[in-house]
Structure 1
Amino acid sequence: MSTPVSASTGSSLAVEILGELDRIITEAESSGKPLEVDPSRSRLFELFVTAQGAGYTQEGSDPDLTADGICRSLAEQWGLKSAALESTANQSRLSAEHLSRMRSLWSVMRMWMEWTYAWSRWDEFHKKG
């Protein structure tokens, strides 16, 4: 398992992509608009294309900007892992803020996985001949 991308461990491009993901998610949460509609969706897709072009969306890539890698990095940055562990240990609910962040992260992960799948099969459906 790879370690989460952070300013100290990741390339500057990967750190920039994660920072922009964080900004887009925060803006969407603040505005109450879903991540799955434009302009958020388009901005997220542009980041996916950049990460894919840099080779960061492939399994085993370093830095890891696969859907799982993004989840690990942002969850660590936002304190979601420790909040979930604490919630489980105390048999209590996650705070509204942590739950909202987790839902947003799931939305981004779902879109990222769908784009990864579609991108990997592009040639299969666009061969000439």
Structure 2
Amino acid sequence: MSNGPGESAVNRTAAETILNGIEQLIGEAEEATRPLEVDPYRSKLFEFFVTAYSTGMVGDERDSSLTSNDGEGETDLSADGLCRSLARRWGLDMAARDSAAQQTKMPPAQLEKMRLLWSVMRMWMEWNYAWCRFEEFNSSDAAAADS
């Protein structure tokens, strides 16, 4: 499989489209004052997960190292990568640093955004864990059915 510049640009575009869609969905849930964990938001977020997973941008987090940096930040849609990107877009990374440095509380609006990110991250991690382990639990069922 080739990893030429065109393919890299396609992956970046796909990642950006997914990220923009998730950001818009979070905004809709926030505006409606509804949790992301209920439909229609959960279903739509799961569709974004499926798309990201099927393009290989999520990966198996059981195999990744906390310190690894493989240079794929632009297309890293793992739970960590997704939340890192959204936190950067919303200025939460800097707000958290400033809050820690100044030993002050984060402003309520930014704290609410942080809570939304935690919700996304938790669901994303759960879905990834389940999908990565699907074969482990279903291959024995298939083998038992064959015998």
Considering the TM-score relative to the shorter chain, is it more than 0.5?
yes
Q: Contact conserved, 1:35 with 1:41, CA < 8 A, in 2? A: yes
Aligned residue for 1:38, secondary structure, equals coil
Residue 127 of structure 2 is aligned to residue 115 of structure 1: yes
Worse overlay, 75-84 or 87-96: 87-96
Worse overlay, 70-79 or 58-67: 58-67
- Partner residue of 2:77 out of 49, 65, 83: 65
**Partner Cα distance (1:43, 1:93) in 2:** 32
**Partner Cα distance (2:113, 2:13) in 1:** 24
Kindly, what percent of the aligned residue pairs are identical?
Answer: 50
Residue 17 of structure 2 is aligned to residue 19 of structure 1: no
**Partner Cα distance (1:35, 1:48) in 2:** 14
Residue 138 of structure 2 is aligned to residue 126 of structure 1: yes
- CA spacing shift, 1:61–1:123, aligned 2, 3 Å: farther
Aligned residue for 1:11, secondary structure, equals helix
Aligned residue for 2:56, secondary structure, equals coil
**Partner Cα distance (1:20, 1:98) in 2:** 20
Q: What is the match of residue 50 of structure 1?
A: 51
**Partner Cα distance (2:102, 2:129) in 1:** 38
Q: What is the match of residue 6 of structure 2?
A: none
- The structure number with the bigger radius of gyration is 2
Q: Contact conserved, 1:35 with 1:108, CA < 8 A, in 2? A: yes
Q: What is the match of residue 3 of structure 2?
A: none
The alpha carbon displacement at 1:61 in A equals 8.3
Q: What is the match of residue 95 of structure 1?
A: 107
The alpha carbon displacement at 1:16 in A equals 0.4
The alpha carbon displacement at 1:71 in A equals 1.1
**Partner Cα distance (1:100, 1:37) in 2:** 17
For the aligned residue pairs, the C-alpha RMSD in angstroms reads: 1.6
**Partner Cα distance (2:107, 2:30) in 1:** 15
- CA spacing shift, 1:47–1:61, aligned 2, 3 Å: farther
- Partner residue of 2:95 out of 83, 86, 90: 83
When the two structures are aligned, how many residues end up with a matched partner?
121
Q: What is the match of residue 74 of structure 1?
A: 86
Deviations 1:73-104 (CA, angstroms, capped at 9, x unpaired) = 00000000111111112221111110000000
- Bigger relative CO (Cα 8 Å, ≥ 6 apart): 1
Gaps of 5+ in 1: 1-7
Worse overlay, 95-104 or 10-19: 10-19
